[in-house]
Amino acid sequence: MKIKNLSLLLAVAVVFSACSSGQKKEQTISLSGAFALYPLVIKWSEEYQKENPGIRFNISAGGAGKGMADALSGTVDLGMFSREIVQEEIDKGVWWLGVTKDAVIPTINANSPVLSVIHARGLTRDEFRKIFIAGEITNWNQISGIEIDLAINVFTRSDACGAAGTWAAYLGGKQEDLKGVGVFGDPGLADAVVKDEKGIGFNNTIYLYDIKTGNKNPGIEVIPIDVNENGKIDADEAFYSKFDEILAAIAEGQFPSPPARELYLVSKGKPQKQATIDFLKWVVTNGQAFVPEAGYVPLAKSKLEKQVSKIN
């Protein structure tokens, strides 16, 4: 009798196992890293899940440095990365895929007494360098054409990040060369400038503008870049009023690069997990349809074709 009962239990177990093996196993894709890419990756994950309900995402922002470190250690499937890949990272075996573009924009408190002068005049790259790296300019009246006696309170990023690295590269340095009070994260840096009438900093476009209205977020304004260094902001340099204007300037190359830059998804070697590969293929094909509405610049068709070939 016991043998019969045992046989019955085994039969039930085999049937249950067969049913379970026939079910599609839920898979998770994990990502960490750049604040710059975080909102777009969230959008992509939501849209991808509509087509692939068996996929789950685990996504966290913490700066590009964390994204690279997590990817190289295998802690996550993909790192979100927001500056140029350097040789040291290549030597460690990083594999990367270009997925979109955005830019780092210099910022100033919206109530700053020098705002109207700054909007008409802008700052040259060398003037930015003397503020953010050399520390030679600490008051606005040290700049030609500005007579207002007002100290400049500089804020930068405390976390290893692509925004700071890209902004520093534009000024001829590295993130560790940047002066100022360190603040964690893109939202934190924007908030620091908003709270300090003397404050200046820099932010990724997505944290400076409101995607829905196209206007700049309350309390923060842009310091225009005098690209041709003629002492004023010309018509072809005045593209900061609305979000779509700066995005168009980035796409058309009017805004300098850096601080415009490509954004990447990275991993330790080419991904082997099929769920990750399938997601990456979707990102550089159908997923590009969601790039503009998320507040980013799509890559050129020729560039996207190269990214597809890189995956294949």
Q: Which residues, including other chains, have CB under 8 Å from residue 30's CB and lie 6 or more apart? A: 57, 58, 59, 75, 76, 77, 78
Out of 3.40.190.10, 3.40.50.11540, 3.40.50.300, 1.20.140.10, which CATH number does the structure's domain 103-251 have?
Answer: 3.40.190.10
Which CATH number describes the domain made up of 27-102+262-311? Answer: 3.40.190.10
Where in the chain are the domains? 27-102+262-311, 103-251
Tokens in use for 251? 């796409």
Tokens in use for 309? 């070939």
* Strand intervals (E) in the chain: 27-33, 55-61, 78-81, 94-109, 153-157, 181-183, 199-204, 220-222, 260-268
Q: Is the peptide bond before 292 cis (omega within 30 degrees of 0)?
A: no
Residue 189 per-residue DSSP state: H
Intrachain domains 27-102+262-311 and 103-251 with the same fold: yes
Per-residue pLDDT of the chain (312 residues; tens, 9 = 90+): 433 343 333 333 333 333 333 345 679 999 999 999 999 999 999 999 999 999 999 999 999 999 999 999 999 999 999 999 999 999 999 999 999 999 999 999 999 999 999 999 999 999 999 999 999 999 999 999 999 999 999 999 999 999 999 999 999 999 999 999 999 999 999 999 999 999 999 999 999 999 999 999 999 999 999 999 999 999 999 999 999 999 999 999 999 999 999 999 999 999 999 999 999 999 999 999 999 999 999 999 999 999 999 999
